[in-house]
Amino acid sequence: MAPVTIDNIRKSYGNLDVMHGVSVDIEDGEFMVLVGPSGCGKSTLLRMIAGLESITDGSIRIGSRIINDVAPKDRDIAMVFQNYALYPHMTVRENMAFALRLRKMAAQEIDKRIEQAAGILGLSALLDRYPRQLSGGQRQRVAMGRATVRDPQVFLFDEPLSNLDAKLRVTMRSEIKSLHQRLRTTTVYVTHDQVEAMTMADRIVVMHNGVVEQIGTPLDLYDRPGNLFVAGFIGSPS
């Protein structure tokens, strides 16, 4: 676990400026939800934290370490995407073990971590199955398990539930929250669904056109939206 400090980040793709000085302080162990309309820069910001996208200007720190120039594999971050990206030719167990084997972790420790994560996520009976033999919700749990076994300092989620049906989304919301309550890993969770944001977040960052409009608890934003954009976004049906 560690705080994540995003300091005055700018991002340009060629001549196109898509982020204009974004600053967010995420506390150690916090569940921070990043919301905003499509194209506002949520994924770009997450990918910059993960090291999958270069930072045009500004800095990102994890704890006291500036990570701008740290390779993704050395950042101690695990990311869960909406399209699971499980390895189709590997079993659930192998999917979860893969990143740990790359890091040359001892087999016994790998097994221990997998059993533990599988227990938390309800995957214990599914460890020998292949991804194609799983439902959408089970696959997303495996993706979360694969992130969990690495015991990262920071979890990043990019709209992890958007491919699931409405009922499963509600179930998975509370599963992700209870995972967080157990592990207390600092989390940045991206969604464009304001109900998801309001129900899951410790605090919410509202982004719009590459700037931060407001940061606050769900209650802050509900009671005291800082401007019309935030008021409209929070009040809109998902």
Binding status of residue 194 toward ligand ADP by CB under 6 A: no
Residue of 23, 28, 39, 111 interacting with ligand ADP (CB under 6 A) = 39
Main-chain dihedrals φ then ψ at residue 174, nearest 5 degrees: -75, -25
Site string for Mg ion, 30-49 (x = CB under 5 A): -------------x------
**Any contact of residue 18 with ligand ADP (CB under 6 A)?**
yes
Residue where the block lists tokens 């157990």:
182
Separation between Cα atoms, residue 44 and residue 191, nearest integer Å: 13
Our CB check for ligand ADP shows the closer of 13 and 87 to be 13
- Count the Cβ atoms, other than its own, within 10 Å of residue 123: 22
Among 5, 31, 42, 194, binds ligand ADP (CB under 6 A): 42
Note whether 230 and 49 are within 8 A (CB): no
Q: Which of residues 97-126 bind ligand ADP (CB under 6 A)?
A: none
Count of positions on this chain that bind Mg ion (CB under 5 A): 1
Query: Cβ(77)–Cβ(156) under 8 Å?
Result: yes
Q: Does residue 15 interact with ligand ADP by CB under 6 A?
A: no
How far apart, in whole angstroms, are the C-alpha atoms of residue 81 and residue 39? Answer: 17
Residues that bind ligand ADP (CB under 6 A): 13, 16, 18, 36, 38-44
